[in-house]
Structure 1
Amino acid sequence: MDDKGEFTVGLANLADWQIVTEWGNGEGWNIGFQDPACFLPTDPDGFFIGRLDGRPVSAVSLVNYSDDYAVWGHYLVDPQQRGGGYGLGVCKVASPHSGDRVTAGDAMPEQVKNYSRDGSVPVHDTIHFVGALDRPGSLPPEVIRIGPEQLDEVADYDRQCFPAYRREFLRRWLTAEGHQGYARIVDGALTGFGVVRPAPAGHRIGPLCADTPRDAEALFDALTAGLVAGDQVSIFSPDTQPAAAKLFQERGLTEQFRVVRMYRGPVPQLRTDALYGIGSLELG
Protein backbone atom coordinates (compact mmCIF):
# COMPACT_ATOMS: atom_id res chain seq x y z
CA MET A 1 0.00 0.00 0.00
CA ASP A 2 2.93 2.37 0.66
CA ASP A 3 3.74 2.91 -3.02
CA LYS A 4 0.19 4.11 -3.62
CA GLY A 5 0.21 6.78 -0.92
CA GLU A 6 -0.09 7.04 2.83
CA PHE A 7 -2.78 4.75 4.25
CA THR A 8 -4.02 5.51 7.76
CA VAL A 9 -6.89 4.26 9.92
CA GLY A 10 -8.76 6.30 12.51
CA LEU A 11 -12.14 6.75 14.12
CA ALA A 12 -14.89 8.06 11.89
CA ASN A 13 -17.20 11.00 12.47
CA LEU A 14 -20.72 11.49 11.16
CA ALA A 15 -19.53 13.24 7.99
CA ASP A 16 -17.22 10.31 7.26
CA TRP A 17 -20.07 7.89 7.78
CA GLN A 18 -22.29 9.67 5.30
CA ILE A 19 -19.67 8.77 2.68
CA VAL A 20 -19.61 5.16 3.90
CA THR A 21 -23.41 5.09 3.69
CA GLU A 22 -23.21 6.13 0.04
CA TRP A 23 -20.89 3.20 -0.61
CA GLY A 24 -23.32 0.83 1.12
CA ASN A 25 -26.27 2.13 -0.84
CA GLY A 26 -24.27 1.60 -4.00
CA GLU A 27 -24.23 -2.09 -3.03
CA GLY A 28 -28.03 -2.16 -2.66
CA TRP A 29 -28.19 -2.02 1.15
CA ASN A 30 -30.79 0.78 1.15
CA ILE A 31 -29.51 2.35 4.37
CA GLY A 32 -32.06 4.70 5.92
CA PHE A 33 -31.53 8.47 5.80
CA GLN A 34 -31.21 8.79 9.59
CA ASP A 35 -29.35 5.52 10.20
CA PRO A 36 -25.84 7.00 10.57
CA ALA A 37 -27.00 9.48 13.24
CA CYS A 38 -28.63 6.60 15.12
CA PHE A 39 -25.66 4.27 14.69
CA LEU A 40 -22.66 6.31 15.82
CA PRO A 41 -23.74 7.12 19.42
CA THR A 42 -24.18 3.38 20.10
CA ASP A 43 -20.39 3.03 20.35
CA PRO A 44 -18.49 6.10 19.10
CA ASP A 45 -15.21 4.19 19.27
CA GLY A 46 -16.54 1.42 17.04
CA PHE A 47 -16.55 3.12 13.63
CA PHE A 48 -13.30 3.00 11.67
CA ILE A 49 -12.32 4.76 8.48
CA GLY A 50 -9.30 4.07 6.27
CA ARG A 51 -7.81 7.03 4.43
CA LEU A 52 -5.42 7.17 1.51
CA ASP A 53 -3.57 10.48 1.57
CA GLY A 54 -6.37 11.79 3.75
CA ARG A 55 -9.25 10.66 1.53
CA PRO A 56 -11.70 7.98 2.80
CA VAL A 57 -11.20 4.69 0.95
CA SER A 58 -12.39 1.94 3.34
CA ALA A 59 -14.47 1.42 6.45
CA VAL A 60 -15.74 -1.06 8.97
CA SER A 61 -17.77 -0.85 12.17
CA LEU A 62 -17.27 -3.07 15.20
CA VAL A 63 -19.88 -1.94 17.68
CA ASN A 64 -19.77 -3.07 21.30
CA TYR A 65 -23.38 -3.30 22.40
CA SER A 66 -22.51 -4.67 25.83
CA ASP A 67 -19.69 -6.27 27.80
CA ASP A 68 -20.58 -9.56 26.10
CA TYR A 69 -21.67 -8.79 22.54
CA ALA A 70 -20.37 -6.91 19.50
CA VAL A 71 -21.39 -6.64 15.83
CA TRP A 72 -19.26 -6.27 12.70
CA GLY A 73 -20.74 -4.21 9.88
CA HIS A 74 -20.11 -1.68 7.13
CA TYR A 75 -17.16 -3.62 5.67
CA LEU A 76 -16.79 -1.45 2.59
CA VAL A 77 -14.16 -0.15 0.21
CA ASP A 78 -14.53 2.72 -2.22
CA PRO A 79 -15.32 0.96 -5.54
CA GLN A 80 -12.49 2.91 -7.17
CA GLN A 81 -9.94 1.62 -4.63
CA ARG A 82 -10.65 -2.10 -4.39
CA GLY A 83 -7.86 -4.62 -4.55
CA GLY A 84 -5.37 -2.49 -2.67
CA GLY A 85 -5.70 -4.17 0.72
CA TYR A 86 -7.50 -1.20 2.28
CA GLY A 87 -10.40 -3.31 3.55
CA LEU A 88 -8.14 -5.75 5.38
CA GLY A 89 -6.10 -2.82 6.63
CA VAL A 90 -9.02 -1.17 8.39
CA CYS A 91 -10.24 -4.50 9.78
CA LYS A 92 -6.86 -5.24 11.38
CA VAL A 93 -7.01 -1.98 13.29
CA ALA A 94 -10.65 -2.46 14.31
CA SER A 95 -10.42 -6.11 15.38
CA PRO A 96 -9.05 -5.61 18.94
CA HIS A 97 -11.92 -3.27 19.80
CA SER A 98 -14.37 -6.08 20.63
CA GLY A 99 -11.99 -7.85 23.02
CA ASP A 100 -13.28 -11.27 24.02
CA ARG A 101 -16.93 -10.48 23.30
CA VAL A 102 -19.12 -12.75 21.21
CA THR A 103 -19.07 -11.09 17.80
CA ALA A 104 -21.63 -11.33 15.01
CA GLY A 105 -21.29 -10.46 11.36
CA ASP A 106 -22.99 -11.05 8.03
CA ALA A 107 -21.02 -12.44 5.09
CA MET A 108 -21.91 -12.69 1.46
CA PRO A 109 -22.04 -16.44 0.67
CA GLU A 110 -18.80 -16.35 -1.30
CA GLN A 111 -17.02 -14.74 1.68
CA VAL A 112 -17.98 -17.28 4.36
CA LYS A 113 -14.64 -19.09 4.09
CA ASN A 114 -12.72 -15.85 4.55
CA TYR A 115 -14.86 -14.79 7.50
CA SER A 116 -14.29 -18.19 9.12
CA ARG A 117 -10.59 -17.53 9.57
CA ASP A 118 -11.15 -15.78 12.91
CA GLY A 119 -13.19 -18.69 14.24
CA SER A 120 -16.60 -17.40 13.16
CA VAL A 121 -19.15 -20.07 12.21
CA PRO A 122 -22.21 -19.76 9.93
CA VAL A 123 -25.54 -20.11 11.72
CA HIS A 124 -28.35 -19.02 9.37
CA ASP A 125 -29.11 -16.95 6.29
CA THR A 126 -30.63 -13.49 6.35
CA ILE A 127 -32.69 -12.62 3.28
CA HIS A 128 -33.14 -9.14 1.83
CA PHE A 129 -36.77 -8.94 0.68
CA VAL A 130 -37.53 -6.04 -1.66
CA GLY A 131 -40.50 -5.12 -3.76
CA ALA A 132 -43.33 -2.85 -4.75
CA LEU A 133 -46.10 -3.07 -2.20
CA ASP A 134 -49.12 -4.93 -3.60
CA ARG A 135 -51.51 -2.98 -1.42
CA PRO A 136 -51.22 -0.51 1.43
CA GLY A 137 -51.89 -1.69 4.94
CA SER A 138 -54.18 -0.22 7.54
CA LEU A 139 -53.98 0.31 11.27
CA PRO A 140 -55.48 -2.86 12.78
CA PRO A 141 -57.20 -3.02 16.15
CA GLU A 142 -54.83 -3.46 19.10
CA VAL A 143 -51.92 -1.82 17.25
CA ILE A 144 -50.71 1.51 18.62
CA ARG A 145 -48.03 4.04 17.73
CA ILE A 146 -45.09 3.58 20.11
CA GLY A 147 -44.56 6.52 22.43
CA PRO A 148 -42.14 7.21 25.31
CA GLU A 149 -44.38 5.34 27.72
CA GLN A 150 -43.90 2.10 25.76
CA LEU A 151 -40.11 2.36 25.41
CA ASP A 152 -39.17 0.19 28.40
CA GLU A 153 -41.59 -2.56 27.39
CA VAL A 154 -40.38 -2.45 23.79
CA ALA A 155 -36.75 -2.64 24.92
CA ASP A 156 -37.54 -5.64 27.13
CA TYR A 157 -39.24 -7.40 24.22
CA ASP A 158 -36.39 -6.53 21.86
CA ARG A 159 -33.94 -8.11 24.30
CA GLN A 160 -35.64 -11.48 23.73
CA CYS A 161 -34.76 -11.22 20.02
CA PHE A 162 -31.41 -9.41 20.20
CA PRO A 163 -28.30 -10.47 22.15
CA ALA A 164 -27.99 -7.22 24.16
CA TYR A 165 -30.22 -4.72 25.92
CA ARG A 166 -30.31 -1.64 23.69
CA ARG A 167 -32.84 0.78 25.14
CA GLU A 168 -30.92 3.92 24.17
CA PHE A 169 -30.44 2.75 20.60
CA LEU A 170 -34.16 2.04 20.33
CA ARG A 171 -34.99 5.46 21.77
CA ARG A 172 -32.99 7.07 18.95
CA TRP A 173 -34.37 4.62 16.39
CA LEU A 174 -37.99 5.27 17.33
CA THR A 175 -37.72 9.06 17.46
CA ALA A 176 -35.49 9.79 14.45
CA GLU A 177 -37.02 11.96 11.75
CA GLY A 178 -39.37 9.92 9.57
CA HIS A 179 -39.18 6.77 11.72
CA GLN A 180 -42.49 5.30 12.88
CA GLY A 181 -42.81 2.52 15.45
CA TYR A 182 -45.87 0.43 16.21
CA ALA A 183 -46.65 -2.15 18.89
CA ARG A 184 -49.44 -4.68 19.19
CA ILE A 185 -51.06 -4.87 22.62
CA VAL A 186 -53.34 -7.82 23.36
CA ASP A 187 -55.02 -8.10 26.77
CA GLY A 188 -52.58 -5.55 28.12
CA ALA A 189 -49.46 -7.41 26.96
CA LEU A 190 -47.11 -6.40 24.14
CA THR A 191 -47.10 -9.15 21.51
CA GLY A 192 -44.71 -7.53 19.05
CA PHE A 193 -43.38 -4.29 17.59
CA GLY A 194 -41.93 -2.90 14.40
CA VAL A 195 -40.35 0.22 12.91
CA VAL A 196 -40.50 1.66 9.39
CA ARG A 197 -38.19 4.38 8.11
CA PRO A 198 -37.56 6.27 4.87
CA ALA A 199 -34.60 5.19 2.77
CA PRO A 200 -33.22 6.05 -0.68
CA ALA A 201 -35.16 3.20 -2.30
CA GLY A 202 -38.55 3.64 -0.68
CA HIS A 203 -39.04 2.47 2.89
CA ARG A 204 -37.18 -0.01 5.06
CA ILE A 205 -38.75 -2.03 7.88
CA GLY A 206 -36.86 -3.26 10.93
CA PRO A 207 -36.90 -4.52 13.54
CA LEU A 208 -40.09 -6.54 13.18
CA CYS A 209 -40.63 -8.89 16.13
CA ALA A 210 -43.85 -10.70 16.96
CA ASP A 211 -45.20 -13.56 19.05
CA THR A 212 -47.20 -15.11 16.21
CA PRO A 213 -47.65 -14.79 12.43
CA ARG A 214 -50.95 -13.01 13.13
CA ASP A 215 -49.15 -10.42 15.25
CA ALA A 216 -46.51 -9.97 12.54
CA GLU A 217 -49.15 -9.50 9.85
CA ALA A 218 -50.99 -6.88 11.92
CA LEU A 219 -47.76 -4.99 12.52
CA PHE A 220 -46.73 -5.13 8.86
CA ASP A 221 -50.12 -3.70 7.92
CA ALA A 222 -49.66 -0.88 10.43
CA LEU A 223 -46.14 -0.14 9.21
CA THR A 224 -47.34 0.16 5.61
CA ALA A 225 -50.58 2.00 6.39
CA GLY A 226 -49.10 5.33 5.31
CA LEU A 227 -47.87 3.98 1.97
CA VAL A 228 -49.61 3.36 -1.35
CA ALA A 229 -49.62 0.43 -3.70
CA GLY A 230 -46.39 0.41 -5.69
CA ASP A 231 -44.25 1.98 -3.00
CA GLN A 232 -40.91 0.20 -2.56
CA VAL A 233 -40.40 -1.65 0.73
CA SER A 234 -37.43 -3.67 1.95
CA ILE A 235 -36.64 -5.77 5.02
CA PHE A 236 -33.78 -8.04 6.10
CA SER A 237 -35.31 -11.21 7.49
CA PRO A 238 -33.58 -14.23 9.09
CA ASP A 239 -34.66 -17.52 7.54
CA THR A 240 -35.29 -18.95 11.03
CA GLN A 241 -39.03 -18.05 10.90
CA PRO A 242 -40.63 -19.58 7.78
CA ALA A 243 -43.81 -17.53 8.18
CA ALA A 244 -41.83 -14.35 7.49
CA ALA A 245 -41.13 -15.16 3.84
CA LYS A 246 -44.77 -16.05 3.27
CA LEU A 247 -45.93 -12.74 4.76
CA PHE A 248 -43.57 -10.60 2.70
CA GLN A 249 -44.17 -12.47 -0.54
CA GLU A 250 -47.92 -12.06 -0.10
CA ARG A 251 -47.35 -8.29 0.05
CA GLY A 252 -45.32 -8.18 -3.18
CA LEU A 253 -41.75 -8.52 -1.89
CA THR A 254 -39.23 -10.97 -3.36
CA GLU A 255 -35.75 -12.10 -2.40
CA GLN A 256 -33.05 -9.76 -3.71
CA PHE A 257 -30.00 -11.35 -2.08
CA ARG A 258 -29.01 -13.14 1.09
CA VAL A 259 -26.14 -13.03 3.54
CA VAL A 260 -24.90 -15.56 6.07
CA ARG A 261 -25.06 -14.69 9.77
CA MET A 262 -21.88 -15.81 11.51
CA TYR A 263 -20.82 -15.80 15.16
CA ARG A 264 -17.46 -15.98 16.82
CA GLY A 265 -18.04 -17.48 20.24
CA PRO A 266 -21.16 -19.08 21.70
CA VAL A 267 -24.26 -18.56 19.57
CA PRO A 268 -26.72 -16.37 21.53
CA GLN A 269 -29.93 -18.07 22.60
CA LEU A 270 -32.74 -15.91 21.25
CA ARG A 271 -36.41 -16.08 20.36
CA THR A 272 -35.75 -16.79 16.70
CA ASP A 273 -39.42 -17.68 16.24
CA ALA A 274 -40.32 -14.06 17.04
CA LEU A 275 -37.79 -12.42 14.73
CA TYR A 276 -39.32 -11.50 11.38
CA GLY A 277 -36.94 -8.68 10.52
CA ILE A 278 -33.72 -7.31 11.98
CA GLY A 279 -33.23 -3.64 12.73
CA SER A 280 -30.47 -3.21 10.20
CA LEU A 281 -27.95 -5.32 8.35
CA GLU A 282 -25.24 -2.91 9.44
CA LEU A 283 -25.78 -2.90 13.22
CA GLY A 284 -27.93 -5.96 13.82
Structure 2
Amino acid sequence: MISVENLELKKLNQDGVNTLVDWAKNEGWNPGENDSTVFWKTDPDGFYGFYNDKELIAGGAVVSYNQEFGFMGLFIVHPDLREQGIGKKLWYLRRDLLIKRLHNNASIGMDGVVAMQPFYEKGGFNIAFRDERYECIGKKMDVSTNISPIETEDLEKLFEYDIACFGYKRQEFLKSWFSMPQSNTFKYSENNEVLGYAVIRKVDKGYKIGPLFANNNQIAEELYKSCLNTASGDSVYLDIPTINTKAVDLVNKYDAKYVFECARMYYGQAPKVAIDKIYGITTFELG
Protein backbone atom coordinates (compact mmCIF):
# COMPACT_ATOMS: atom_id res chain seq x y z
CA MET A 1 0.00 0.00 0.00
CA ILE A 2 1.37 3.40 -1.01
CA SER A 3 1.47 6.11 1.63
CA VAL A 4 -0.74 8.79 0.09
CA GLU A 5 0.30 11.27 2.75
CA ASN A 6 3.92 11.12 1.61
CA LEU A 7 3.23 11.61 -2.11
CA GLU A 8 4.65 14.87 -3.45
CA LEU A 9 3.58 16.71 -6.59
CA LYS A 10 6.30 16.58 -9.23
CA LYS A 11 6.59 18.19 -12.65
CA LEU A 12 6.52 15.70 -15.51
CA ASN A 13 9.02 15.61 -18.33
CA GLN A 14 8.02 14.73 -21.87
CA ASP A 15 8.36 11.01 -21.15
CA GLY A 16 5.83 11.46 -18.36
CA VAL A 17 3.37 13.12 -20.73
CA ASN A 18 3.91 10.27 -23.19
CA THR A 19 3.07 7.83 -20.42
CA LEU A 20 -0.18 9.65 -19.59
CA VAL A 21 -1.23 9.56 -23.24
CA ASP A 22 -0.42 5.84 -23.39
CA TRP A 23 -2.60 5.31 -20.31
CA ALA A 24 -5.34 7.34 -21.98
CA LYS A 25 -5.16 4.95 -24.90
CA ASN A 26 -5.60 2.00 -22.53
CA GLU A 27 -8.61 3.75 -20.96
CA GLY A 28 -10.28 3.92 -24.37
CA TRP A 29 -10.07 7.73 -24.59
CA ASN A 30 -8.67 7.28 -28.10
CA PRO A 31 -5.93 9.93 -28.17
CA GLY A 32 -4.03 10.92 -31.29
CA GLU A 33 -0.72 9.33 -32.16
CA ASN A 34 1.03 12.71 -32.01
CA ASP A 35 -1.02 14.34 -29.25
CA SER A 36 1.64 14.10 -26.55
CA THR A 37 4.16 16.04 -28.64
CA VAL A 38 1.69 18.88 -29.23
CA PHE A 39 0.62 18.92 -25.58
CA TRP A 40 4.23 19.18 -24.43
CA LYS A 41 5.06 21.99 -26.86
CA THR A 42 1.98 23.92 -25.75
CA ASP A 43 3.14 24.19 -22.13
CA PRO A 44 6.20 22.21 -20.94
CA ASP A 45 5.44 23.39 -17.39
CA GLY A 46 1.85 22.21 -17.57
CA PHE A 47 2.00 18.56 -16.48
CA TYR A 48 2.34 17.21 -12.96
CA GLY A 49 1.93 13.95 -11.13
CA PHE A 50 2.96 11.56 -8.40
CA TYR A 51 5.91 9.17 -8.53
CA ASN A 52 6.53 6.11 -6.37
CA ASP A 53 10.07 4.73 -6.42
CA LYS A 54 10.75 6.92 -9.50
CA GLU A 55 7.81 5.36 -11.34
CA LEU A 56 4.88 7.55 -12.45
CA ILE A 57 1.67 6.42 -10.77
CA ALA A 58 -0.71 9.32 -11.53
CA GLY A 59 -0.73 12.61 -13.39
CA GLY A 60 -2.56 15.26 -15.34
CA ALA A 61 -2.43 18.57 -17.17
CA VAL A 62 -2.44 22.01 -15.58
CA VAL A 63 -1.98 23.95 -18.79
CA SER A 64 -1.84 27.73 -18.82
CA TYR A 65 -2.82 29.76 -21.86
CA ASN A 66 -0.84 32.99 -21.37
CA GLN A 67 -1.90 33.00 -17.69
CA GLU A 68 -5.36 34.11 -18.88
CA PHE A 69 -7.05 30.71 -18.88
CA GLY A 70 -6.17 27.26 -17.60
CA PHE A 71 -7.22 23.76 -18.50
CA MET A 72 -7.13 20.57 -16.44
CA GLY A 73 -7.20 17.38 -18.48
CA LEU A 74 -5.47 14.04 -18.98
CA PHE A 75 -6.18 13.18 -15.33
CA ILE A 76 -5.29 9.51 -14.81
CA VAL A 77 -4.28 7.30 -11.90
CA HIS A 78 -2.64 3.99 -12.76
CA PRO A 79 -5.47 1.40 -12.73
CA ASP A 80 -3.70 -0.77 -10.15
CA LEU A 81 -3.62 2.08 -7.63
CA ARG A 82 -7.14 3.47 -7.64
CA GLU A 83 -9.58 3.79 -4.74
CA GLN A 84 -6.75 4.75 -2.36
CA GLY A 85 -7.19 8.52 -2.31
CA ILE A 86 -4.31 9.15 -4.71
CA GLY A 87 -6.51 10.76 -7.36
CA LYS A 88 -8.31 13.02 -4.90
CA LYS A 89 -5.07 14.37 -3.47
CA LEU A 90 -3.56 14.82 -6.94
CA TRP A 91 -6.61 16.59 -8.34
CA TYR A 92 -6.77 19.20 -5.58
CA LEU A 93 -3.02 19.83 -5.73
CA ARG A 94 -3.24 20.29 -9.49
CA ARG A 95 -6.21 22.63 -9.19
CA ASP A 96 -4.45 24.78 -6.60
CA LEU A 97 -1.20 24.83 -8.59
CA LEU A 98 -2.99 25.93 -11.73
CA ILE A 99 -4.76 28.73 -9.85
CA LYS A 100 -1.31 29.99 -8.83
CA ARG A 101 -0.03 29.75 -12.41
CA LEU A 102 -2.79 32.05 -13.68
CA HIS A 103 -3.70 35.69 -13.22
CA ASN A 104 -6.02 36.49 -10.33
CA ASN A 105 -9.62 35.39 -11.01
CA ALA A 106 -8.67 33.62 -14.25
CA SER A 107 -11.00 30.76 -15.17
CA ILE A 108 -10.11 27.09 -15.50
CA GLY A 109 -11.82 24.62 -17.81
CA MET A 110 -12.07 20.86 -17.93
CA ASP A 111 -14.14 18.08 -19.48
CA GLY A 112 -15.45 15.73 -16.81
CA VAL A 113 -16.78 12.23 -17.33
CA VAL A 114 -20.27 11.68 -15.94
CA ALA A 115 -19.19 9.59 -12.94
CA MET A 116 -16.71 12.24 -11.77
CA GLN A 117 -18.85 15.33 -12.25
CA PRO A 118 -20.15 15.44 -8.64
CA PHE A 119 -16.54 15.29 -7.38
CA TYR A 120 -15.50 18.14 -9.68
CA GLU A 121 -18.50 20.19 -8.59
CA LYS A 122 -17.43 19.80 -4.96
CA GLY A 123 -14.05 21.15 -6.09
CA GLY A 124 -15.62 24.37 -7.37
CA PHE A 125 -16.37 23.55 -11.01
CA ASN A 126 -19.76 24.16 -12.63
CA ILE A 127 -21.20 22.42 -15.68
CA ALA A 128 -21.54 24.69 -18.72
CA PHE A 129 -22.74 22.16 -21.30
CA ARG A 130 -22.55 18.50 -22.30
CA ASP A 131 -20.05 17.21 -24.83
CA GLU A 132 -21.10 14.10 -26.75
CA ARG A 133 -18.80 12.01 -28.92
CA TYR A 134 -20.22 10.71 -32.19
CA GLU A 135 -18.81 8.18 -34.63
CA CYS A 136 -19.35 8.28 -38.39
CA ILE A 137 -17.75 6.28 -41.20
CA GLY A 138 -15.63 8.30 -43.59
CA LYS A 139 -16.62 8.38 -47.23
CA LYS A 140 -15.84 10.30 -50.41
CA MET A 141 -18.08 13.26 -51.18
CA ASP A 142 -17.97 16.40 -53.27
CA VAL A 143 -17.16 19.52 -51.27
CA SER A 144 -17.34 23.25 -51.82
CA THR A 145 -14.61 24.98 -53.82
CA ASN A 146 -14.35 27.38 -50.88
CA ILE A 147 -12.57 24.62 -48.94
CA SER A 148 -8.77 24.53 -49.01
CA PRO A 149 -5.91 23.35 -46.76
CA ILE A 150 -4.61 25.69 -44.06
CA GLU A 151 -1.34 27.27 -45.19
CA THR A 152 1.34 29.15 -43.27
CA GLU A 153 0.07 32.47 -44.60
CA ASP A 154 -3.37 31.70 -43.09
CA LEU A 155 -2.15 31.40 -39.51
CA GLU A 156 -2.78 34.94 -38.30
CA LYS A 157 -6.34 34.88 -39.62
CA LEU A 158 -6.90 31.46 -38.05
CA PHE A 159 -5.53 32.64 -34.71
CA GLU A 160 -8.03 35.50 -34.69
CA TYR A 161 -10.93 33.30 -35.77
CA ASP A 162 -10.06 30.75 -33.08
CA ILE A 163 -10.26 33.30 -30.25
CA ALA A 164 -14.00 33.78 -30.83
CA CYS A 165 -14.54 30.04 -30.40
CA PHE A 166 -12.01 29.15 -27.71
CA GLY A 167 -12.13 32.41 -25.81
CA TYR A 168 -8.39 32.98 -25.45
CA LYS A 169 -5.21 33.10 -27.52
CA ARG A 170 -3.51 29.74 -28.04
CA GLN A 171 -1.07 30.32 -30.89
CA GLU A 172 1.59 27.90 -29.67
CA PHE A 173 -0.93 25.08 -29.45
CA LEU A 174 -2.44 25.82 -32.86
CA LYS A 175 0.88 26.04 -34.68
CA SER A 176 1.74 22.54 -33.51
CA TRP A 177 -1.82 21.25 -33.98
CA PHE A 178 -1.95 22.42 -37.59
CA SER A 179 1.38 20.77 -38.45
CA MET A 180 0.87 17.35 -36.85
CA PRO A 181 1.91 14.30 -38.87
CA GLN A 182 -1.00 12.12 -39.98
CA SER A 183 -3.46 15.00 -40.00
CA ASN A 184 -5.34 17.18 -42.47
CA THR A 185 -6.43 20.78 -42.04
CA PHE A 186 -9.19 22.65 -43.85
CA LYS A 187 -10.44 26.21 -43.94
CA TYR A 188 -13.55 27.67 -45.54
CA SER A 189 -12.91 31.06 -47.12
CA GLU A 190 -14.88 33.67 -49.03
CA ASN A 191 -13.34 36.87 -50.37
CA ASN A 192 -10.13 36.13 -48.48
CA GLU A 193 -12.04 35.87 -45.18
CA VAL A 194 -11.92 32.73 -43.03
CA LEU A 195 -15.44 31.58 -42.13
CA GLY A 196 -14.54 28.27 -40.51
CA TYR A 197 -11.87 25.63 -40.09
CA ALA A 198 -11.39 22.02 -39.08
CA VAL A 199 -8.59 19.57 -38.28
CA ILE A 200 -8.77 15.77 -38.56
CA ARG A 201 -5.99 13.60 -37.16
CA LYS A 202 -5.14 9.92 -36.83
CA VAL A 203 -6.01 8.56 -33.41
CA ASP A 204 -5.60 5.13 -31.84
CA LYS A 205 -8.79 3.86 -33.44
CA GLY A 206 -9.77 5.68 -36.60
CA TYR A 207 -9.66 9.47 -36.92
CA LYS A 208 -10.86 12.36 -34.82
CA ILE A 209 -12.06 15.81 -35.90
CA GLY A 210 -11.24 18.70 -33.61
CA PRO A 211 -11.89 21.47 -33.70
CA LEU A 212 -14.72 22.08 -36.13
CA PHE A 213 -15.58 25.79 -36.00
CA ALA A 214 -17.84 27.45 -38.56
CA ASN A 215 -20.00 30.53 -39.03
CA ASN A 216 -23.07 28.53 -39.97
CA ASN A 217 -24.44 25.04 -40.58
CA GLN A 218 -23.71 25.01 -44.31
CA ILE A 219 -20.04 25.84 -43.76
CA ALA A 220 -19.79 23.33 -40.93
CA GLU A 221 -21.21 20.61 -43.15
CA GLU A 222 -18.71 21.33 -45.94
CA LEU A 223 -15.85 21.13 -43.43
CA TYR A 224 -17.28 17.93 -41.95
CA LYS A 225 -17.52 16.36 -45.41
CA SER A 226 -13.95 17.42 -46.17
CA CYS A 227 -12.77 15.60 -43.08
CA LEU A 228 -14.83 12.48 -43.87
CA ASN A 229 -13.26 12.48 -47.34
CA THR A 230 -9.81 11.91 -45.86
CA ALA A 231 -10.81 8.78 -43.93
CA SER A 232 -12.92 6.75 -46.33
CA GLY A 233 -14.05 3.50 -44.69
CA ASP A 234 -12.61 4.40 -41.26
CA SER A 235 -14.30 5.52 -38.06
CA VAL A 236 -14.35 9.31 -37.65
CA TYR A 237 -15.14 10.84 -34.26
CA LEU A 238 -16.47 14.30 -33.45
CA ASP A 239 -17.05 15.73 -29.96
CA ILE A 240 -19.95 18.16 -30.09
CA PRO A 241 -21.33 20.64 -27.55
CA THR A 242 -24.97 19.65 -27.35
CA ILE A 243 -25.89 23.22 -26.39
CA ASN A 244 -25.36 24.02 -30.08
CA THR A 245 -28.39 22.30 -31.58
CA LYS A 246 -27.00 22.83 -35.10
CA ALA A 247 -24.10 20.56 -34.19
CA VAL A 248 -26.58 17.93 -33.05
CA ASP A 249 -28.44 18.29 -36.37
CA LEU A 250 -25.18 17.83 -38.28
CA VAL A 251 -24.21 14.50 -36.71
CA ASN A 252 -27.79 13.26 -37.00
CA LYS A 253 -27.89 14.13 -40.70
CA TYR A 254 -24.89 11.86 -41.28
CA ASP A 255 -26.24 9.06 -39.07
CA ALA A 256 -23.34 9.35 -36.63
CA LYS A 257 -23.64 7.09 -33.60
CA TYR A 258 -23.43 8.25 -29.99
CA VAL A 259 -20.32 6.92 -28.19
CA PHE A 260 -20.13 8.61 -24.78
CA GLU A 261 -20.28 12.01 -23.13
CA CYS A 262 -18.49 14.42 -20.83
CA ALA A 263 -19.41 17.85 -19.54
CA ARG A 264 -17.46 21.04 -20.12
CA MET A 265 -16.99 22.50 -16.67
CA TYR A 266 -15.47 25.76 -15.44
CA TYR A 267 -13.93 27.00 -12.23
CA GLY A 268 -14.77 30.67 -12.21
CA GLN A 269 -16.59 32.49 -14.98
CA ALA A 270 -17.21 30.60 -18.21
CA PRO A 271 -15.33 32.13 -21.16
CA LYS A 272 -17.30 34.23 -23.59
CA VAL A 273 -17.34 32.15 -26.75
CA ALA A 274 -19.47 32.01 -29.89
CA ILE A 275 -21.05 28.66 -29.01
CA ASP A 276 -23.12 28.72 -32.21
CA LYS A 277 -19.84 28.44 -34.16
CA ILE A 278 -18.60 25.41 -32.21
CA TYR A 279 -19.58 22.22 -34.02
CA GLY A 280 -16.72 20.19 -32.55
CA ILE A 281 -14.44 20.93 -29.62
CA THR A 282 -10.68 20.55 -30.03
CA THR A 283 -9.73 18.05 -27.32
CA PHE A 284 -10.93 16.80 -23.95
CA GLU A 285 -7.34 17.04 -22.72
CA LEU A 286 -6.39 20.68 -23.43
CA GLY A 287 -9.69 22.33 -24.30
Per the TM superposition, whether the score is higher than 0.5 is yes
SS at match of 2:140: coil
- Alpha-carbon distance, 1:89 to partner: 2.7
**Which amino acid in the other structure matches residue 169 of structure 1?**
F
Q: Paired residue for 2:13?
A: 13
- Alpha-carbon distance, 1:58 to partner: 0.8
Q: Is the 8 A contact 1:70 1:103 kept in 2?
A: yes
Asked whether 1:283 is paired with 2:280, we answer no
Q: Paired residue for 2:168?
A: 164
How far apart, in 1, do the equivalents of 2:110 and 2:190 lie? Answer: 34
**Which amino acid in the other structure matches residue 74 of structure 1?**
L
Q: Paired residue for 1:245?
A: 248
1:113 alignment partner, one of 104, 112, 118: 118
Q: Is the 8 A contact 1:137 1:220 kept in 2?
A: no
2:267 alignment partner, one of 241, 250, 264: 264
Report the TM-score when normalising by structure 2.
Answer: 0.92
Which range moves more in the overlay, 27-36 or 3-12?
A: 3-12
SS at match of 2:72: strand
- Identical pairs, percent: 25
How far apart, in 1, do the equivalents of 2:92 and 2:120 lie? Answer: 13
- Number of paired residues? 282
How far apart, in 2, do the equivalents of 1:198 and 1:2 lie? Answer: 37
Report the TM-score when normalising by structure 1.
Answer: 0.93
SS at match of 2:207: strand
- Alpha-carbon distance, 1:6 to partner: 6.3
Asked whether 1:62 is paired with 2:68, we answer no
Gapped runs of 5+ residues in structure 2?
A: none
- Alpha-carbon distance, 1:3 to partner: 4.6
Asked whether 1:186 is paired with 2:190, we answer yes
**Which amino acid in the other structure matches residue 233 of structure 1?**
V
Asked whether 1:202 is paired with 2:206, we answer yes
Q: Is the 8 A contact 1:192 1:215 kept in 2?
A: yes
- Alpha-carbon distance, 1:236 to partner: 1.3
- Alpha-carbon distance, 1:202 to partner: 0.6
Instruction: Give deviations 1:45-69, integer Å, cap 9, x for gaps.
Output: 1101211222111111111112221
SS at match of 1:171: helix
Q: Is the 8 A contact 2:92 2:123 kept in 1?
A: no
SS at match of 1:208: strand
How far apart, in 1, do the equivalents of 2:114 and 2:204 lie? Answer: 25
Does the C-alpha gap of structure 1 residues 58 and 183 become closer, same or farther in structure 2, counting only changes over 3 Å?
same
**Which amino acid in the other structure matches residue 81 of structure 1?**
L
